[in-house]
Amino acid sequence: EDRVQDANGIIDYLQRRWLGRGWIDIRPLLSSAIIGHVWEIYANAFDHGHSDVGVISCGHHYPSRRELGLTVVDFGVGIASHVREFLKKPLSASAALEWAFQKGHTTKIDNRGVGLDLLRGLSD
């Protein structure tokens, strides 16, 4: 449970308690790239979620499948609501999500985000 956006604490959790436990064999460069992309999920949740309870996350290890999973949840306004507000359009939830996951689309004013399209590839 992260009530505040503490980049160092969250990245430490991802490095030591999620990827760094030896559950899977992963090279440091790939580990850093994954953590950077996953950090973007947390940053988006804090920047856009507007949740009073912060962000909840849980790492999962599936030894028989040799996989790691990570669930990141915020109880905020949601991506669709945020996109509608940003575009000032009455979009359906599916249309808003489709827009949000297109390359180059961001609701950040300064365009500094990597975008959700890059994160989609992590689940493939």
Say yes or no to pLDDT of 68 above 70: yes
pLDDT at 118: 65
pLDDT at 103: 84
- Rounded to whole angstroms, the Cα distance separating 71 from 113 reads 20
Burial 44-58 (b: 16+ CB within 10 A, else e): bbbebbebeebbebe
Prediction pTM value: 0.74
- Rounded to whole angstroms, the Cα distance separating 85 from 11 reads 30
71 beta partners: 58
pLDDT tens digits, 76-102:
888 888 899 999 999 999 999 899 888
Average pLDDT score over the chain: 85
| Nearest alpha-carbon partner for 48 in 109, 104, 103 | 109
pLDDT at 104: 83
